[in-house]
């Protein structure tokens, strides 16, 4: 291979390995900066609806990307670390999007003006919201660890290649 193709190959490996960091950063910025900002500037019903739409779009994009990575890991990129982390991340997205979100949405639909602490469904909604937040944070951490494991593996491979070329 030429030097140019080696560099391109290395850049692609770094980009793929950094996928988790990129998405983890997006999720952290969205979950811990954008969402609270929306809730502080809009009424809770509008903010909740906007956050829900953005999270849903993010979940679908993330799920597609995770499935592409699982397929790539299985057939093309055998050197990628820990397929189980990718599968667990996909499972978290699926549970969040297709199980928790619809249950929370059903409760929210019963309270068009916003769910109050005194309503009978408040505790159920907050429990599901807490589980969602826990899964959200777990997803961020899994993506970070997956990327760091891959970047570490690339670094070690590069060190071995450098030693071989000496």
Residue-level pLDDT at 3: 60
Residue 97: the pLDDT is: 96
pLDDT for residue 88: 95
Q: Which of these, 72, 83, 152, 18, lies nearest to 160 by C-alpha position?
A: 152
Segments in the chain forming alpha helices (H)? 3-17, 19-29, 35-41, 44-75, 83-95, 101-109, 122-165
Q: Which tokens in the block code for residue 58?
A: 């993010």
Residues with pLDDT less than 70, the chain? 1-5, 77-79, 158-166
Contacts of 2 (CB under 8 A, 6+ apart): none
Cα R_g (the chain), whole angstroms = 20
Give the pLDDT confidence score for residue 153 in this predicted structure: 83
Joined tokens for residue 108: 């929210």
Q: Are 28 and 140 in contact (CB under 8 A)?
A: yes
pLDDT of residue 49: 92
Rounded to two decimals, what is the model's pTM? 0.87
Give the dihedral sign, CA 97/102/103/105.
Answer: positive
């Amino acid at each position: 291979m030429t030097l140019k193709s080696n560099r391109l190959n290395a850049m692609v490996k770094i980009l793929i390995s950094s996928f988790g960091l990129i998405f983890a950063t997006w999720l952290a910025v969205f979950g811990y900066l954008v969402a609270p900002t929306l809730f502080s500037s809009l009424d809770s019903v509008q903010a909740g609806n906007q956050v829900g739409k953005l999270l849903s779009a993010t979940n679908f994009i993330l799920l597609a990307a995770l499935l592409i990575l699982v397929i790539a890991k299985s057939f093309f990129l055998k050197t990628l670390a820990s397929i189980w982390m990718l599968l667990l991340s996909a499972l978290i997205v699926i549970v969040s999007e297709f199980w928790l979100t619809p249950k929370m949405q059903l409760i929210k639909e019963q309270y068009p003006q916003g769910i109050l602490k005194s309503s009978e469904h408040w505790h159920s909604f907050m429990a599901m919201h807490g589980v969602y937040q826990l899964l959200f944070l777990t997803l961020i951490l899994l993506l970070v660890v997956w990327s760091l494991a891959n970047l570490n593996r690339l670094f070690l491979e590069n060190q071995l290649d450098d030693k071989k070329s000496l």
